[in-house]
């Protein structure tokens, strides 16, 4: 995969870098905050090679890439000169109108997402600490074991520090203030005072009369999120009341002097209480339904992943593990769900006659089963072909019932997968390994068989049909389609366009014109499939199937419609010579933009060749391209 070209195309399709407020990524998704989502054509993004699917959620425009998302993200940041910054949290109407509880969970999920790699890394160290003593390679009393324990536990014990940094980016707070708050809550002296309150040996009061309530902040998430949420408001307040001459020393002191007591006395304890309430709500379901709850959550977990809300469960799992040493609900359901997605996708790979489907589904199945990364399987296979999702839900539900019945426990929060099975093994209970293996076997076998039997619409017939069409084209080499020019001006080769997305041919074959008249006309009879709201580009389809993109200028999406006047609308039927668009050439140039206009046949793969005209200058409706 050419990450640079994919990044360029994605950036162009989301409206250019000027339409991007911020962009981050999680394990499989690019998460854009766009100034205007309405100018993005979802279908064009979804059709881009390398993109699995698109989702809109919580003010984010999410493009699902899969395991290679980090490489694509890196290229997009380089191309757009973006920083890894989510501080510009858009206050959209969607965020204002959403259910409060859902909004809270969404916020937690958004803060947790950037921290997940660190958590997974630490959790995998803990898995190693289970495996190595079991196979006799490391003694659990050795100094190496103790040192590895520190490495594996550090990210969890000091979780508030990681969360503080992430929350600062999301809420637009100073990250160093945020980290200072987290460190304050975990200072050894403060922790000792908290233990004194817990044991009843002492009371703790601020200024002699404001009581400080006990709370345990190591491994915690909610208290620091709430603390950092109020931090920007205090920063702005202090900034207003401090004279300019004293800001460099008085402002930092006042910020910490105000936020410190507020967090210790009110926000921290309230956050701890709220975290406990969230946990109680989740486990109330488990207490009432028992192992049935595990099966139900396992069956619906793929749909939780689709919303991105699965990260909101992470602090709950960590809190339960810190308190009891194990987690016996969410981790078990998630394990069964991941195994089911992998098995159902594997069934598609085995059953399909299409080589591309077999390859993509096979790699996605491996990713889900072995590594626990299910988005490629979910969006690329089970959800795409629909019916395999039924098989995955059946297998996950039944597996969850089995795991719940055996009272499986997880002693870590590494991504549930085959390689992390050791985290489900209970010391001193050899049956626990048997229980997890039975649960995994039931889930995988049932999901595979169900998905295989239910079947799916294999695109193999489409491939055969395309091959047959190709043979017909070869037989009819003399059959050509001539395309009239939609624009008047100087003809230049597509490779001379100063934009790699067009020049490389990734969007299709064609040519380009430097316009001398600011007018675009219909090059054939057909329909306007897409007319960008910024009016700088339009996609046409002829009555005989030619698909064409006409893109006026380079990066002119940033003009947001200025200097462009549409004469037709998306969905309109067109006749050859109809005026579709008018634009002010000099006005566009005055803003510093190149007006060279690519004219591209986007489905040029359907033709043996796309031949450019040999003219230096061309008038409207003169032959510009010949399709063979």
Q: Say which CATH number the domain at 44 has.
A: 3.30.1360.60
Contacts of 104 (CB under 8 A, 6+ apart): none
pLDDT digits (tens, 9 = 90+) for 279-306: 787 788 888 888 999 999 999 888 877 6
pLDDT of residue 412: 84
Split at pLDDT 50, 70, 90, the class of 474 is very low
133 in a structural domain: no
- Give the 3-state DSSP-derived string for 594-623, with helices as H, strands as E and coil as C: CCCEEEEECCHHHCCCEEECCCCEECCCCE
* Nearest C-alpha neighbor of 18 from the set 34, 2, 42: 34
Contacts of 287 (CB under 8 A, 6+ apart): none
Residue range 109-117: average pLDDT? 77
Q: Where is the domain boundary, 256, 279, 302?
A: 279
Split at pLDDT 50, 70, 90, the class of 39 is confident
Most confident of 64-68, 150-154, 189-193, 398-402: 398-402
Q: Where is the domain boundary, 226, 252, 279?
A: 279
Give, to the nearest 10 degrees, the angle between helix 247-262 and helix 175-185.
40
Same domain (yes/no): 63, 206: no
Rg (CA), the chain: 29
114 in a structural domain: no
Side by side, which strands form the sheet with 617-618? Answer: 573-574, 526-531, 537-542, 547-551, 597-601, 509-515, 489-492, 617-618
Handedness of CA 435, 441, 447, 453 (dihedral sign): negative
pLDDT of residue 97: 45
Phi-psi region of 81 (alpha: psi -120 to 50; beta: other; left: phi over 0): left
- Would the pTM of this model clear 0.75, i.e. be above it? no
3-class secondary structure, 299: helix
Same domain (yes/no): 431, 492: no
pLDDT of residue 245: 85
338 in a structural domain: yes
Same domain (yes/no): 324, 272: no
pLDDT above 80 (res 485): yes
3-class secondary structure, 213: coil
599 in a structural domain: yes
Give, to the nearest 10 degrees, the angle between helix 100-112 and helix 222-241.
90
Same domain (yes/no): 294, 275: no
pLDDT above 80 (res 100): no
For 73, 203, 254, 544, the CA distances from 210, given in Å and listed in that order, are: 48, 11, 19, 79
Same domain (yes/no): 295, 422: yes
Which long-range contacts does 564-571 make (Cβ < 8 Å, 24+ apart)?
564/534, 564/535, 564/536, 565/535, 566/531, 566/535, 568/528, 568/531, 569/528, 569/531, 570/528, 570/529, 570/530, 570/531, 571/527, 571/528
* Nearest C-alpha neighbor of 603 from the set 497, 521, 526, 514: 526
Same domain (yes/no): 509, 584: yes
Split at pLDDT 50, 70, 90, the class of 480 is confident
pLDDT above 90 (res 461): no
The structural domain count of the chain equals: 4
Higher local confidence (pLDDT), 86 or 161: 161
Its domain, for residue 589, covers 481-627
pLDDT above 90 (res 24): no
Residue 81 burial (10 A CB sphere; 0-12, 13-18, 19+): exposed
pLDDT above 50 (res 86): no
- What does DSSP say about strands 509-515 and 489-492: parallel, antiparallel, or unpaired? antiparallel
Same domain (yes/no): 438, 301: yes
Same domain (yes/no): 193, 323: no
Split at pLDDT 50, 70, 90, the class of 368 is confident
Same domain (yes/no): 224, 273: yes
Per-position b or e across 561-586, b if 16+ CB within 10 A of its CB? eebbebebeeeeebeeebebbebebe
pLDDT above 80 (res 179): yes
* Nearest C-alpha neighbor of 324 from the set 414, 238, 426: 426
The DSSP 8-state label assigned to residue 415 in this structure reads: P
Q: Where is the domain boundary, 31, 62, 89?
A: 89
Split at pLDDT 50, 70, 90, the class of 29 is confident
pLDDT of residue 311: 65
Same domain (yes/no): 394, 370: yes
- Spatial contact of 408 and 423, defined as CB atoms under 8 Å apart: no
94 in a structural domain: no
Q: Write down the residue that tokens 């100094």 correspond to.
A: 143
Most confident of 118-132, 188-202, 367-381, 569-583: 569-583
For 5, 47, 481, 595, 601, the CA distances from 506, given in Å and listed in that order, are: 8, 13, 22, 20, 11
- Spatial contact of 110 and 170, defined as CB atoms under 8 Å apart: yes
**Element (DSSP H or E) covering residue 490:** strand 489-492
Question: What does the mean pLDDT of the chain come to?
Answer: 84
Q: Active-site residue numbers?
A: 26
∠ at Cα 480 (474, 486), nearest 5°? Answer: 140
Residue 151 burial (10 A CB sphere; 0-12, 13-18, 19+): middle
141 in a structural domain: no
113 in a structural domain: no
Split at pLDDT 50, 70, 90, the class of 87 is very low
CATH number at residue 485: 2.70.70.10
Side-chain-side CA neighbours of 103 within 13 Å: the count stands at 11
pLDDT digits (tens, 9 = 90+) for 206-225: 877 888 888 888 877 888 99
High-pLDDT (> 70) share of the chain, %: 91
pLDDT digits (tens, 9 = 90+) for 599-614: 999 888 888 888 888 8
Q: Write down the residue that tokens 């992998």 correspond to.
A: 342
In the chain, what is the straight-line distance between the N-terminal and C-terminal CA atoms, in Å? Answer: 29
Same domain (yes/no): 172, 258: yes
pLDDT digits (tens, 9 = 90+) for 371-408: 787 877 887 788 778 899 999 999 999 999 999 999 99
Split at pLDDT 50, 70, 90, the class of 95 is very low
Bridge partners, residue 566, by sequence: 581
Same domain (yes/no): 79, 220: no
74 in a structural domain: yes
């Amino acid at each position: 995969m050419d990450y640079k070209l994919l990044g360029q195309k994605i950036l162009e399709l989301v409206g250019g870098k000027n339409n991007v407020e911020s962009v981050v990524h999680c394990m499989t998704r690019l998460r854009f905050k766009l100034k205007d989502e309405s100018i993005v054509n979802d279908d064009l993004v979804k059709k881009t090679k390398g993109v699995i699917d698109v989702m809109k959620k919580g003010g984010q425009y999410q493009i699902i890439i899969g395991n290679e998302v980090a490489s694509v993200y890196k290229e997009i940041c380089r191309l757009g000169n973006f920083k890894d910054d989510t501080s510009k949290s858009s206050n959209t109407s969607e965020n204002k109108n959403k259910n409060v509880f859902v909004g809270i969970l969404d916020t937690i999920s958004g803060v947790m997402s950037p921290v997940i790699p660190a958590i997974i890394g630490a959790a995998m160290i803990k898995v190693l600490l289970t495996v190595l003593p079991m196979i006799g390679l490391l003694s659990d009393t050795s100094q190496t074991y103790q040192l590895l324990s520190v490495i594996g536990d550090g990210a969890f014990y000091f979780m508030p520090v990681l969360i503080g940094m992430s929350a600062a980016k999301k809420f637009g707070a100073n990250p160093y203030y945020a980290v200072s708050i987290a460190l304050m809550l975990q200072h050894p002296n403060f922790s000792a005072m908290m233990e004194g309150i817990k044991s009843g040996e002492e009371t703790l009061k601020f200024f002699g009369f404001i009581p400080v309530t006990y709370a345990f902040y190591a491994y915690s998430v909610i208290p620091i999120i709430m603390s950092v949420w109020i931090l920007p408001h205090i920063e702005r307040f202090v900034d207003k009341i401090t004279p300019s001459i004293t800001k460099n020393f008085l402002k930092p002191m006042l910020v910490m002097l105000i936020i410190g007591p507020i967090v210790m006395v009110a926000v921290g304890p309230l956050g701890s209480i709220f975290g406990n309430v969230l946990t109680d709500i989740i486990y109330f379901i488990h207490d009432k339904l028992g192992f049935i709850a595990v099966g139900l959550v396992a069956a619906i977990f793929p749909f939780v992943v689709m919303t991105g809300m699965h990260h909101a469960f992470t602090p709950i799992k960590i809190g339960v593990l810190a308190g009891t040493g194990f987690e016996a609900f969410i981790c078990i359901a998630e394990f069964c769900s991941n195994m089911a997605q992998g098995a159902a996708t594997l069934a598609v790979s085995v059953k399909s006659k299409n080589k591309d489907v077999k390859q993509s589904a096979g790699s996605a199945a491996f990713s889900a089963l072995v590594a626990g990364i299910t988005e490629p399987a979910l969006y690329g296979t089970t959800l795409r072909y629909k019916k395999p999702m039924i098989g995955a839900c059946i297998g996950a539900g039944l597996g969850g019932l089995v795991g719940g019945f055996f009272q499986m426990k997880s002693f870590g929060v590494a991504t549930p997968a085959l390689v992390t099975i050791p985290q489900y093994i209970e010391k001193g209970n050899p049956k626990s390994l048997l229980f997890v293996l039975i649960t995994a076997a039931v889930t995988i076998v049932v999901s595979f068989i169900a998905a295989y039997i239910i079947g799916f619409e294999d695109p193999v017939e489409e491939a055969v049909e395309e091959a047959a069409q190709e043979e017909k084209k070869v037989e009819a080499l003399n059959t050509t389609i001539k395309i009239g020019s939609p624009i008047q001006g100087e003809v230049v080769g597509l490779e001379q366009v100063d934009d790699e997305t067009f020049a490389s041919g990734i969007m299709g074959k064609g040519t380009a014109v430097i316009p001398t008249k600011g007018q675009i006309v219909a090059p054939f009879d057909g329909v306007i499939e897409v007319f960008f709201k910024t009016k700088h580009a339009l996609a046409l389809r002829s009555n005989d199937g030619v698909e064409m993109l006409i893109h006026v200028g380079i990066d002119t999406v940033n003009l947001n419609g200025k200097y462009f006047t549409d004469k037709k609308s998306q969905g309109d039927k067109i006749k050859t010579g109809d005026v579709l668009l008018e634009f002010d050439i000099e006005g566009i140039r005055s803003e510093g933009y190149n007006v060279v206009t690519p004219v591209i046949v986007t489905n040029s793969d359907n033709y043996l060749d796309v031949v450019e005209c040999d003219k230096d200058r061309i008038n409207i409706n003169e032959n510009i391209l010949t399709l063979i």
